[in-house]
Homo-oligomer: A and B are copies of this chain.
Amino acid sequence: MRNRVAGEVADASLVDASPAGAVASGRRDDLGVLPGLVGYNLRRTQEAVFGAFMEMVTGKLDSAGLTPGQFGVLAIVVANPGLKQIELGTALGVDRSTIVAAVDKLENRGLVERRPVPHDRRAHALTLTAEGQRVYRRALTLVDRHEAKIAGGLTPAERSQLLDLLGRVQRAAQQRP
């Protein structure tokens, strides 16, 4: 089963690298093997969803709006007030060096605070300011609208299955060897 799927992809392109319709008819928009690849569809969909988020959520907030990544930071700090930067990085699955600039921006905008951690002077405890909580709440309603736009056409069952399938693909991709 597994072999057949992979084989289809290879055969389709190796045997017929320049499919009938496109060139002969003057069209030049044939995507070759790409439409059959999970990775490619994932990338295109993610790109479209990212763009929709930028339109719906970024720029629609009074000050400057939140990027998808910034919203993610606020969501995790809200759920885990006082967490350390390295814990934030672990939660988001990114390196601690990546967190620094992200927190810097939110701190400069007065949405997030770095506080001392009682018994560890190396670390910073992250919390939302009052303003940060207000911005997060307003962003959340926009994010809900955004989610309704991109996934509102799916039934609840389809939406669940999409999340399930994405989770399985993600875990498979993270498998080491």
Contact = CB atoms under 8 A, between A and B. Distances in A.
A75 to B, nearest CB: 4
Interface centre among A49, A50, A161 (most CB of B within 10 A): A49
Interface of A: 1-7, 9-10, 13-14, 17-19, 22-23, 28-34, 37-53, 68, 72, 75-76, 78-84, 87, 90-91, 93, 137, 140-141, 143-156, 158-159, 161-163, 165-170, 172-175
Given A5-B151, A45-B166, 17 more contacts: A3-B148, A5-B147, A5-B159, A22-B79, A23-B81, A28-B91, A30-B79, A30-B91, A31-B79, A32-B76, A39-B50, A41-B162, A41-B170, A42-B46, A149-B173, A154-B169, A162-B162
